[in-house]
Amino acid sequence: MKRRDLLKSAAAIGSAALVGSSFGRASAAAPAAKAGGGNDLWKKLPRWRGFNLLEKFNAGSNKPFAESDFEWIHEWGFDWVRLPMDYRCWTAKDDPAKYDEKVLKEIDQAVEFGRKHKVHVCLNLHRAPGYTVASPPETMNLWTDEEAQKQFGAQWGQFARRYKGIPSAEVSFNLVNEPNGKPTPAEYAKAMGVACEAIRKEDPARLISCDGLSWGTKPVFELLPLAVAQSTRGYSPMQITHYGANWVNSKGWPEPTWPLKLKDKMLDREWLRQDRIVPWKKLEEQGVGIHVGEWGSHNRTPHAAVLGWMSDSLALWKEAGWGWGLWNLRGSFGVLDSDRKDVTYEDFHGHKLDRKMLELLRQD
């Protein structure tokens, strides 16, 4: 499984009374508006910082979100979560237009948890009709198949109806996770345009973001006409972030340090600046807000190297004015239950807390 680990059982679902009364009821469709809908938040995003929450990351682990996560995130001083989700969690296998309202209400509840605890909620299709970075692959092709694009637009249209009226400062849509290197920029922009149109028909001012191409690493200037923010990644260099990960070909990688010497090249903070900041600053200069939607390092990398690399990454993003979302809160990249062998954990409500990592993040 690609740099992911499924979460342990979440806390029991909270009171259904938290779910807003308008959720699940279709609002009258608003007329299609110009790109951006008059909302300029996409041009300069707040510096949101937080975590990815994985309860609906895979249809095989389809759990309600835990209010305690939102409480802790707020208490620690963070203000953002991303919900990377698998559309199969709520979509009938034999009818792509039929959605499971019980599951959708669990997403409604996460939105309300965010509003209650002052944590922005970013919804994301980690698996969308026609595309996923995970296994097994989708049977359709989101970049070229009209039926896949139709279903993709319908998915986002129904979310737009559900959350119409909630400010974009509280809820945003990140359309599809990490498009790979196969679609051309034009194909990618066309597919994202279908979803943007469906969203803006229902809710013209909703904040929308799109991941960069090549698994989120490359800015996409062809998306400029859509008036969307863009999301980059913080997984460079892979020898630090994915050392020992069984879903990448890391055989033969030496145990990493930071800075990292690779042959005759030294990878350090300045290398990170040139590799991960400079290309995206060129997009930002065109009036596009940037956010680091995922980043972190797998638990096999020595903790000292992880913290050194994280410190440099955080400093660069702070200098750039960009927010970020750690993958994940709980799990092998996170601050809770990461199962690192070289960390002395602190008990935290029954979880194992990596206090050093948490305090580093809080200093940002």
The CATH number covering residue 306 comes to 3.20.20.80
Query: How does pLDDT run across 177-187, given as a tens digit for each residue?
Result: 999 999 999 99
pLDDT at position 5 is 39
Query: How does pLDDT run across 334-353, given as a tens digit for each residue?
Result: 999 999 999 999 999 999 99
Secondary structure (DSSP) of 138-155: PSS-TTT-HHHHHHHHHH
Domain that holds residue 358: 47-362
Residue 35 has pLDDT above 70, yes or no: no
Burial string for 13-41 (b: 16+ CB within 10 Å, else e) reads ebeeebbbeebeeeeeeeeeeebbbebeb
Question: Does the residue 21 lie in any domain?
Answer: no
Question: Does the residue 128 lie in any domain?
Answer: yes
Question: Does the residue 212 lie in any domain?
Answer: yes
In the chain, the number of structural domains is 1
> ∠325-330-336 over CA atoms, to 5°?
105
Question: Does the residue 107 lie in any domain?
Answer: yes
pLDDT at position 37 is 57
Mean pLDDT of 116-137: 97
Band (8; pLDDT cuts 50, 70, 90): very low
Question: Does the residue 202 lie in any domain?
Answer: yes
Question: Does the residue 119 lie in any domain?
Answer: yes
Question: Does the residue 20 lie in any domain?
Answer: no
Contacts of 270 by beta carbon, 8 Å cutoff, 6+ apart:
none
Residue 9 has pLDDT above 50, yes or no: no
Mean pLDDT of 140-151: 98
Contact 209, 322 (CB under 8 A): no
Question: Does the residue 16 lie in any domain?
Answer: no
- Percent of the chain beyond pLDDT 70? 90
Q: Using the structure block, give the residue that is written with the tokens 């996560």.
A: 69
pLDDT at position 38 is 56
pLDDT at position 36 is 55
